[in-house]
Amino acid sequence: MNSAKQKLSAGKLVLCMGLRQARTPDIAMIAAECGFDAIYADMEHSPLSMESVSAICVGALGQGLTPLVRPPSHAGDAISRALDGGAQGVIVPHVSDAAQARAVVEHGRFPPLGHRSVMGPGPALGYRALPLGEINQTLNAETLIVVMLETPQGIANADGIAAVPGVDVLLIGSNDLCTELGIPGQLRHPKLREAYEAAAQACRRHGKTLGVGGIRGDLDLQRDLIQLGACFIIAGNDTGYLAAAARKDVETLRGLV
């Protein structure tokens, strides 16, 4: 079962950690020990191979952690191969209108919701031998489809994107969006706040979940966005966590001299 999707359906908070440097399945054990609900392998901003991504996804499944993948593009094979390799969902970047959202669903879900090619039993189902109809139905129900709104056009079309059947989460990519808005790094700018509110309203209207990424470190902003309705939070990534912990240790040790 997709534990993160179940939590979101119940209106509970899901915390997701991004992966850019990790290459082995033990990162799933570390994330689970830290209390994360999900991890996502970031193939958009890293040289991660599909083979490494699949191994990480399988490791996460063994920990009861929801494995997600951010593919490098909207390409159908990037989405379907990630899911066939063990991911329980995808986080698709730069979705700017309802037509693009529908295309994501087409690649990520089986008929009647989409046109994903049938593989049969795979890692997401523990390779259980099930009737094909049951496999397709189960994976459709358990796959999490997250689309990222990262442009002013995406925000303007948030209502239409949220109305697309098969989309579960509208995730604001805060850093890309504020860069597109001409306010890079200004996460408390009124323009960005308006974008959050527009996406939140679209999610409420169509029964979808609001997600937010790129806001690690600002607890007050995170609290505000959770109160606005955000239930899917990308809390940070492995590179940032490693650098922050190492930097703190170096500062502490040098302070002993």
- Total number of domains in the chain: 1
pLDDT of residue 96: 97
Task: Give the Cα separation of 3 and 237 in Å (integer).
Answer: 20
Containing structural domain, residue 119: 3-254
Token pair of 24 as six digits: 């082995």
Coil, strand, or helix at residue 253? helix
The residues carrying an active-site annotation are: 45
Name the residue with tokens 């609900």. 37
Contact between residue 88 and residue 5 where contact means Cβ atoms under 8 Å apart:
yes
Backbone angles phi, psi at 21, to 5 degrees: -105, -30
CATH of the domain at 44: 3.20.20.60
Q: pLDDT tens string for the chain (257 positions)?
A: 899 999 999 999 999 999 999 999 999 999 999 999 999 999 999 999 999 999 999 999 999 999 999 999 999 999 999 999 999 999 999 999 999 999 999 999 999 999 999 988 899 999 998 999 999 999 999 999 999 999 999 999 999 999 999 999 999 999 999 999 999 999 999 999 999 999 999 999 999 999 999 998 889 999 999 999 999 999 999 999 999 999 999 999 999 98
Question: Which are the contacts of 9, defined by CB distance < 8 A and separation ≥ 6?
Answer: none
Kindly state the percentage of the chain with pLDDT values over 70. 100
